A and B are shown apart, each in its own frame.
Chain A
Amino acid sequence: MKGISILRRYLGIFIRLFKFRLSNQMIYRASFWTVFIVDVSMFLIQLAVFSTLFLNVDTINGWNKYQMIFFVGTFNIIDSINMSLFFFGITSIPYKIREGKLDIYLTRPVNTLFWLSLENIDVSSTIVIIPGVIMVSYATAKLGITLTFGKVAGYLLLLILMLLLFYSLMLIIRTLSFWFIKTDALNDLEGEMIGFSFRVPGIVFTGVSKLVLYVLLPYALLATLPTQYFTTSFSLGHWALALGVTSAFVLISQWLWRLGLKNYTSASS
């Protein structure tokens, strides 16, 4: 019973925050449209890179054009959910740490991260999920994959795992702001990794580079694993990888966050 009432309270807070953002975005319509344009431009650039590559080659490490379309579509779905749910919330954390704006969040009887992450929900970003779903469906048809319950459920489960992983990776970088005043370069680095794994599947990596980009900085897993599951074979080892890496990074990010809070100095602006 207690669990349900807590769940209901958090749902209530979520809905309230969502409504706030909606009315805020109506006030600042210009920023609503810019975010929309950014998302669409990201998508178009990704499409341009992808088509340029396939103008010059036929396969990428064994993946054909339709598998690549599926891959790009999957990334768009992941990124659209990321952008609409927690991207703007998480990216505002360093600013809040530096300017001492975390105080208000810390004094409320709510999980601080929950509130911080979901405070800047962005409605306009949900639209990019449409081309993502279209690409995934188109590629599924072209590849002649028959849909079964297991396929769809497994794919959705992997999407959720990869979103959790994405969230933790983003959070870890923002948490470092508790110790370092400026983390611009880390943001650049992150942008680089995400941008790359956005365009190129993880299967191009081998040896040490695979270890690095699958385990230490597992950005390459994000869209690769769901695509592999859906369009090629997926072993128990792959599941272990997905579950292991995700839970490790979730734990690390939570631990770092708690450690960081102990270091919070609440600068007065």
Chain B
Amino acid sequence: MNTVIQTKGLTKVFKRVEKEDGLKGTLKALFKRVIVEKTALDHFDFQVEQGELLGLIGPNGAGKTTLVKLLCGIIQPSAGEAQVLGFTPGKLKDGFRRSYAVVMGQKSQLWWDLPASDTFLLNKEIYGIPDDIYKQNIAYFSDIFGVRDLLSVPVRNLSLGERMKMELMAALLHNPKILFLDEPTIGLDAIAQKQIRLFLKEVNETKGVTIMLTSHYMEDIKHLCKRTVVINGGKKVYDGNLDALLSSFQEHRIITVSFECECQPQLDLPVEWLEKSPLKSVLMVRRELVKPVIQSLLTHYEVNDIRIEEEDIGGVIERIYTAGKEGIPL
């Protein structure tokens, strides 16, 4: 396997001016200001192999975006080093910038008033894409996305989902080796999210593009990434398989029971009742108590149907983050 990204002790410290309240504090700031340092990324070590589809998750302000920006060379590290495809990103060599692409959900590269095809043409010049490859890629991507008819519509008239598809197209026209994605599905509806997920999977598998993805939506990561890095407070708190992580933090199961006739179920076991209506009950129990609870329900009541589900993913993630912050090994 080929390592495409490698960081050693990568650190980024931001400086911020802090000001006291009130007029007195304001006047003081005129002559002397307090500079506060915030470590956004703290001795971060990791590596990515070629062809991986890696997920990066963490709460707001954890350092995900900082890491992506450092790897793209947009900002410079305060300490430590990064190697991407054998280049040092901060030097911004043309050869380096030709070999990756980045899509940031918040920052568009499309020209607002012009059709997306115009931005594609500009990118063709910028990246020096040969005619045949350009045509081939335009055809290929617009087919997968089904956006052939939208290429000549001004970007401002496109929906959010369509715009994101165009962003991804613009990023991939020059066949980059690595694609960095920062919150690509933010604000999109479920259908568009799903389409984009399928597309990323396809690009990763057929074109062999290494993809590094940050997202708030666990669904993105769950569906796409075999390997996940959890980052919190600028530090790496977990690196490995997401399912394994989730199951070790899945402490509860949700049980939904419906009854043949109206009843008031009672249990001597420690359970949390989420819903109690005459014909249906929903309860949450610790994983190891699922068996006794079901046995008890079946023996005491006329059960019509039972459904056992995993706990809501949001709660699990919250626990992972808290554990990470407290330094508990995951």
Query: Complex: how many Å from CA A252 to CA B221?
Result: 47
- State which of A9, A16, A24, A266 has its C-beta within 8 Å of the C-beta of B74: A266
Number of A-B contacts (CB under 8 A): 73
A residues 19-68 in Cβ contact with B at 8 Å? 20, 23-24, 27-28
Known: A23-B114, A101-B107, A106-B92. Contact between A262 and B122, CB under 8 A?
Answer: no
Query: Complex: how many Å from CA A266 to CA B104?
Result: 12
Known: A23-B114, A100-B107, A269-B106. Contact between A107 and B122, CB under 8 A?
Answer: no
- A-B interface, 7 closest residue pairs, ranked by CB to CB distance from nearest: A109-B97, A12-B125, A109-B94, A109-B98, A13-B125, A104-B109, A16-B122
Question: Please, could you name 26 A-B residue pairs with CB atoms under 8 Å apart, sorted by A?
Answer: A5-B128, A13-B126, A16-B125, A20-B111, A24-B111, A24-B114, A101-B107, A103-B72, A103-B74, A103-B104, A103-B107, A104-B109, A106-B92, A109-B94, A109-B95, A109-B96, A109-B97, A109-B127, A110-B126, A262-B76, A264-B74, A264-B75, A264-B76, A266-B69, A266-B74, A268-B65
Q: For the complex, is B311 an interface residue (Cβ under 8 Å from A)?
A: no
A110 to chain B: closest residue by CB: B126
Contact with B along A100-143 (1 / 0, CB 8 A): 11111011111010000000000000000000000000000000
Contact with B along A204-228 (1 / 0, CB 8 A): 0000000000000000000000000
Query: Complex: how many Å from CA A106 to CA B104?
Result: 13
Query: Complex: how many Å from CA A168 to CA B226?
Result: 50
Contact with A along B91-105 (1 / 0, CB 8 A): 010111110111010
Q: Which residues of B approach A to under 8 Å, CB–CB?
A: 14, 65, 69, 72-76, 92, 94-98, 100-102, 104, 106-109, 111, 113-114, 118, 121-122, 125-128
User: Which of B65, B100, B104 counts the most chain A CB atoms within 10 A?
Assistant: B104
List 17 additional A-B contacts (Cβ < 8 Å) besides A106-B72, A108-B97, A266-B69: A13-B125, A16-B125, A20-B111, A20-B114, A23-B114, A103-B72, A103-B102, A103-B104, A104-B109, A107-B102, A109-B95, A110-B94, A112-B92, A264-B75, A265-B75, A266-B75, A268-B65
A19 to chain B: closest residue by CB: B118
Known: A103-B69, A109-B127, A266-B75. Contact between A20 and B118, CB under 8 A?
Answer: yes
Q: For the complex, is A193 an interface residue (Cβ under 8 Å from B)?
A: no
Q: Which residues of A approach B to under 8 Å, CB–CB?
A: 5, 9, 12-13, 16-17, 20, 23-24, 27-28, 100-104, 106-110, 112, 261-262, 264-266, 268-269
- Chain A residues lying within 8 Å of B75, measured Cβ to Cβ, are 264-266
Asked whether, in the complex, the Cβ of A13 is within 8 Å of the Cβ of B122, the reply is: yes
Query: Complex: how many Å from CA A109 to CA B87?
Result: 14
Known: A101-B107, A106-B73, A107-B97. Contact between A17 and B113, CB under 8 A?
Answer: no
- Interface of B, secondary structure class, is mixed
Query: Complex: how many Å from CA A218 to CA B94?
Result: 34
- Chain B residues lying within 8 Å of A28, measured Cβ to Cβ, are 113
A9 to chain B: closest residue by CB: B128
Query: Complex: how many Å from CA A28 to CA B156?
Result: 14
- Chain A residues lying within 8 Å of B128, measured Cβ to Cβ, are 5, 9
- Chain A residues lying within 8 Å of B104, measured Cβ to Cβ, are 103
B101 to chain A, nearest CB (A): 8
Query: Complex: how many Å from CA A148 to CA B126?
Result: 42
A106 to chain B: closest residue by CB: B74
Query: Complex: how many Å from CA A23 to CA B121?
Result: 14
- Chain B residues lying within 8 Å of A262, measured Cβ to Cβ, are 76
B10 to chain A, nearest CB (A): 16
- State which of B72, B76, B106, B122 has its C-beta within 8 Å of the C-beta of A17: B122
Known: A106-B92, A107-B73. Contact between A24 and B113, CB under 8 A?
Answer: yes
Query: Complex: how many Å from CA A103 to CA B94?
Result: 15
A213 to chain B, nearest CB (A): 31
Query: Complex: how many Å from CA A261 to CA B113?
Result: 29
User: Which of B96, B100, B121, B128 counts the most chain A CB atoms within 10 A?
Assistant: B128
Query: Complex: how many Å from CA A262 to CA B73?
Result: 10
Asked whether, in the complex, the Cβ of A107 is within 8 Å of the Cβ of B74, the reply is: yes
B231 to chain A, nearest CB (A): 16
- Chain B residues lying within 8 Å of A266, measured Cβ to Cβ, are 69, 74-75
Query: Complex: how many Å from CA A212 to CA B95?
Result: 43
Query: Complex: how many Å from CA A103 to CA B74?
Result: 6
- Chain B residues lying within 8 Å of A109, measured Cβ to Cβ, are 94-98, 126-127
B147 to chain A, nearest CB (A): 21
- Chain A residues lying within 8 Å of B69, measured Cβ to Cβ, are 103, 266
Asked whether, in the complex, the Cβ of A20 is within 8 Å of the Cβ of B122, the reply is: yes
Asked whether, in the complex, the Cβ of B121 is within 8 Å of the Cβ of A16, the reply is: yes
User: Which of B73, B92, B111, B125 counts the most chain A CB atoms within 10 A?
Assistant: B125
Query: Complex: how many Å from CA A108 to CA B113?
Result: 21
Query: Complex: how many Å from CA A24 to CA B122?
Result: 15
A100 to chain B: closest residue by CB: B107
User: Which of A28, A109, A264 counts the most chain B CB atoms within 10 A?
Assistant: A109
B173 to chain A, nearest CB (A): 12
- State which of A101, A107, A269 has its C-beta within 8 Å of the C-beta of B72: A107
A110 to chain B, nearest CB (A): 5
Query: Complex: how many Å from CA A177 to CA B109?
Result: 22
- Chain B residues lying within 8 Å of A107, measured Cβ to Cβ, are 72-74, 97, 100-102
Query: Complex: how many Å from CA A24 to CA B100?
Result: 29
- Chain A residues lying within 8 Å of B118, measured Cβ to Cβ, are 20, 23
Query: Complex: how many Å from CA A104 to CA B69?
Result: 11
